């Protein structure tokens, strides 16, 4: 036992001896490789593995089928990876659109006067007063569901908090000396925003993108789980979990456990990337 403890201590000693920046970099590399493996697995694995094969239905986890098979003989590992890849694509598109909305509204609120600022602040308060899932379900249902409805719903419900951050950042920068000099030189608002303000808020946008990612993926899975999101014909994680609920009483636990844990792992991975980026881009913590 003591020799085993020494081996474990020796194996983790190099990681412990790294400083904060090096540990963050190593963590980002490991998490990024994990996410890359998930995405490549979802893209590379053949659709034949999720075709109906009644001869292999209801098989437990094994070397041939690490996540087991479902009631139609479909390989659950392949279904899970393809579902995660679909969720990542939906989350990336929605998060990018939401960040763009936050950038535009935040910049307008901080630079276009009190009237525009009041209107945008009222919109932010309005959207924050309604739970994300409720608003998301209403928008997705109104647009007929599917990928289009989910992406638009996610994009229109996840921008308010980041808009406040961008607005506060721009309001602080607006009184900077170099911005005042540009104003006295007759530079346009577009020039000041593009040359002086945007470079300073770009790190906030990057961090916001990665922090919105896990929320978008979880919310997409949630509304798909209750039947108001993606189509049942698509290999989405929400659909896989919803279908597996009917078979838990028959002790087919692998149908829900492995996809659910995989979803949490991917969401937590993006959360870790966002947290480490924020800590590295924060000037008060960048020296750690």
Compute, in degrees rounded to 10, the torsion defined by CA atoms 227, 228, 229, 230.
50
Number of neighbours of residue 151 by Cβ within 10 angstroms: 24
Specify the 3-state DSSP secondary structure of 277.
helix
**Its pTM surpasses 0.95:** no
Burial class, 109, CB count within 10 angstroms (exposed 0-12 / middle 13-18 / buried 19+)? buried
d(CA 221, CA 230): 9
Report residue 67: phi and psi, to 5°: -100, 10
Q: Which domains does the chain have, with CATH numbers?
A: 87-283 (1.10.3720.10)
Question: Which residue is listed with tokens 């808009």?
Answer: 163
Digit-coded pLDDT (tens) for 162-187: 888 888 888 888 777 777 777 777 77
Digit-coded pLDDT (tens) for 3-46: 544 444 444 455 455 555 677 677 778 888 888 888 888 888 87
d(CA 101, CA 116): 15
pLDDT on residue 18: 57
Digit-coded pLDDT (tens) for 252-275: 888 888 888 988 888 888 888 877
pLDDT averaged over every residue in the chain: 80
d(CA 260, CA 264): 6
Confidence band of 281 (pLDDT split at 50, 70, 90):
low
């Amino acid at each position: 036992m003591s020799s085993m403890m020494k081996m474990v201590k020796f194996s983790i000693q190099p990681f412990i001896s790294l400083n904060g920046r090096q540990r963050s970099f190593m963590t980002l590399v490991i998490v990024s490789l994990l996410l890359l493996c998930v995405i490549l697995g979802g893209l590379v694995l053949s659709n034949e593995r999720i075709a109906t094969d009644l001869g292999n239905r209801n098989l437990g986890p094994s070397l041939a089928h690490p996540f087991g098979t479902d009631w139609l003989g479909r390989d659950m590992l392949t279904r899970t990876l393809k579902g995660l890849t679909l969720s990542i694509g939906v989350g990336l598109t929605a998060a990018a659109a939401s960040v763009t909305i936050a950038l535009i509204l935040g910049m307008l609120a901080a630079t276009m006067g009190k009237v525009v600022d009041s209107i945008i602040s009222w919109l932010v308060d309005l959207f924050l007063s309604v739970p994300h899932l409720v608003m998301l379900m209403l928008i997705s249902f109104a647009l007929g569901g599917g990928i289009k409805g989910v992406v638009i719903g996610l994009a229109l419900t996840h921008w308010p908090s980041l808009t406040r951050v961008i607005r506060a950042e721009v309001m602080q920068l607006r009184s900077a000396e170099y911005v005042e000099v540009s104003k006295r030189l007759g530079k346009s608002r577009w020039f000041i925003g593009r040359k002086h303000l945007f470079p300073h808020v770009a790190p906030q946008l990057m961090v916001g993108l990665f922090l919105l990612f896990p929320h978008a993926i979880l919310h997409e899975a949630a509304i798909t789980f209750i039947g108001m999101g993606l189509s049942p014909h698509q290999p989405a994680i929400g659909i896989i979990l919803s279908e597996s609920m009917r078979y838990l009483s028959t002790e087919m636990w692998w149908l829900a456990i492995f996809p659910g844990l995989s979803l949490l792992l991917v969401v937590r991975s993006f959360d870790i990337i966002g947290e480490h980026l924020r800590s590295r881009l924060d000037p008060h913590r960048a020296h750690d």
